[in-house]
Homo-oligomer: A and B are copies of this chain.
Amino acid sequence: MDIEAINSLPYEDFVSIFGNVVERCPIIAAAVWSGRPFPSGAAIEAAINAFIEALPESGKEGILRCHPDLAGKDLQSGTLTPESREEQGAAGLDRMGAAEVSRMTRLNAEYKARFGFPFVVCARMNDRTSIVEQLRERLGNTQAQERARGVEEVKEICRLRLQSLVPSDQKHKL
């Protein structure tokens, strides 16, 4: 879909298409629609990032808390969003043995108990081995570091989801 077509979408269609570029936060796409017309897909990305950055710290934590655990119960029960399912699958998280799943569950629980939000990482840029390594490593950070890091990962996930929705823009600007 090219940018002219995107700019002519009513908000309902825009939210229907872009509503999950930030996981389970359709309010963000719904908010940035106010800023159309966008000169490019990169401008949509910039508007989303600016919206996220302007949120209070609680709002950034809120975004993280709308994310599912990696290799968690939503993956097991088939209740992931289509985007998350594809990304967790690409990282091999849907092909882990029982011992690996159990280790991941323990690390996720430790992370959530420590920080009050889930471990968020861009699964498309990682495989299951590097995800477990990063989870272990990031457990040693402070809450403020992890909030900031999680938000950066959210932006990276958003960038790649946008790329798959605005492919004509991909080579140039995103």
Contacts and interface: CB of A to CB of B under 8 A. Distances in A.
User: Does more than half of chain A's interface fall in helix, strand or loop, or is it mixed?
Assistant: helix
Contacts of A31: 55-56, 58-59, 61-62, 65
Interface in A33-64: 33-35, 51, 54-59, 61-63
B112 A27 contact: no
Nearest to A69: B12
A35 B58 contact: yes
This protein's copies in its complex: 2
Interface residues of A, number: 31
Nearest to A15: B65
A96 to B, nearest CB: 21
A27 B112 CA distance: 17
A32 B11 contact: no
Contacts of A116: 11, 33-34
13 contacts: A11-B117, A12-B112, A25-B26, A25-B27, A28-B62, A30-B66, A31-B59, A31-B61, A31-B62, A33-B62, A33-B65, A34-B116, A51-B58
